[in-house]
């Protein structure tokens, strides 16, 4: 998408545990629009690796600390963690340092200018050359098992501890849209509907993710043959009507969790398909003020 700094790319950088480490996701709090997790780091015994000839890897658990300090890089617990948990801000700072050093070694430095943009929960930088520029935002993520669900370091609307990781369904949703694009008519208007509505101003109580969720539900329910260019106006009205009804009853079902109609190619953690779908508008049901603000934000969307 375009922004004031040119093209903006969002990139998910997968974090995998290095040898001698394991990641464990622990549910922290149940948020209104997302669930928060902590990523606990466990040290594993690698003594068997030495027996198999992998002598370069010392066991963090069973080798003397002095020998570990002399011969090996410290464990994640000493570099990227607070206590036993992965720390988003420490990872971001380490990645910023890496980018600064690596950039000096690249031949592109002769033509492109790199500007790092400070961010606590992501690594954001802008590249520019002769009036051309684009911005890339690196979001760090840890995979939920071998599924298409991740917990990520993306910035949040409210302040959260640096050891908090937010559950994200972006990969699963992207796979759903790719499948839709393969099966839809060439002149399908679903992308145009989504782009138009998500680029209009929304707010905290009525976020653009609610619009995206409504579009996905309707794509799942209305035959793709009825999303042609000539159907654009009607599908747009359907989306707005779906959102209006959801606001009236203060209930909008999560699209991924509890959706047994999702294609099998989208990999979900055990129990996700049969779980009770979270209500993305639960915060509106419990607060008359929040509901009023959401209705006002919806009305502004109509005017936009």
Residue from 248, 214, 279, 213 nearest 31 by CA:
279
Contact 211, 235 (CB under 8 A): no
The predicted model scores a pTM of 0.84
Q: What is the pLDDT of residues 175-234, one digit of tens each?
A: 999 999 999 999 999 999 999 998 887 888 898 999 999 999 999 999 999 999 999 999
Q: Which two tokens stand for residue 76?
A: 């994640």
Residue from 134, 125, 131 nearest 99 by CA:
125
Q: Indicate if the pLDDT at residue 33 is higher than 50.
A: yes
Q: Indicate if the pLDDT at residue 111 is higher than 90.
A: no
**Structural domains in the chain, sorted by start:** 8-168 (3.30.460.90), 184-302 (1.10.1410.40)
Spatial separation of the C-alpha atoms in residues 10 and 122, rounded to whole Å: 10
- Amino acid 1: pLDDT: 53
């Amino acid at each position: 998408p375009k922004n004031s700094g040119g093209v903006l790319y969002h990139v998910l950088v997968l974090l995998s545990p290095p040898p001698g480490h394991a990641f464990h996701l622990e549910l922290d709090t149940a948020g209104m629009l997302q669930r928060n997790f902590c990523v606990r780091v466990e040290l594993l015994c690698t003594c068997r690796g030495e027996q198999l000839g992998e002598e370069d890897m010392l066991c963090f658990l069973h080798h003397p600390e002095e020998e570990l300090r002399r011969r090996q890089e410290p464990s994640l617990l000493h570099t990227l963690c607070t206590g036993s948990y992965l720390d988003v801000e420490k990872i971001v700072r380490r990645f910023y340092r890496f980018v600064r050093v690596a950039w000096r070694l690249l031949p592109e430095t002769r033509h492109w200018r790199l500007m790092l943009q400070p961010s606590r929960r992501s690594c954001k930088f802008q590249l520019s050359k002769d009036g051309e520029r684009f911005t890339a935002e690196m979001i760090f993520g840890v995979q939920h098992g071998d599924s298409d669900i991740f917990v990520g370091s993306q910035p949040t609307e409210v302040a959260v501890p640096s050891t908090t990781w937010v559950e994200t369904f972006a990969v699963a949703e992207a796979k759903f849209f790719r499948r839709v694009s393969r099966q839809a008519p060439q002149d399908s208007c679903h992308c145009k509907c989504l782009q138009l509505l998500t680029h209009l101003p929304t707010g905290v109580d009525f976020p653009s993710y609610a619009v995206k969720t409504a579009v996905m539900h309707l794509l799942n329910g209305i035959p793709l043959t009825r999303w042609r260019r000539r159907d654009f106006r009607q599908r747009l009205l359907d989306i707005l009507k779906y959102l209006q009804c959801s606001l009236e009853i203060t209930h909008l079902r999560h699209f991924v969790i509890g959706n047994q109609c999702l294609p099998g190619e989208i990999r979900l953690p055990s129990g996700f398909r049969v779980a009770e779908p979270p209500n993305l508008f639960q915060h509106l049901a419990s607060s008359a003020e929040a509901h009023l603000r959401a209705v006002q934000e919806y009305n502004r969307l109509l005017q936009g």
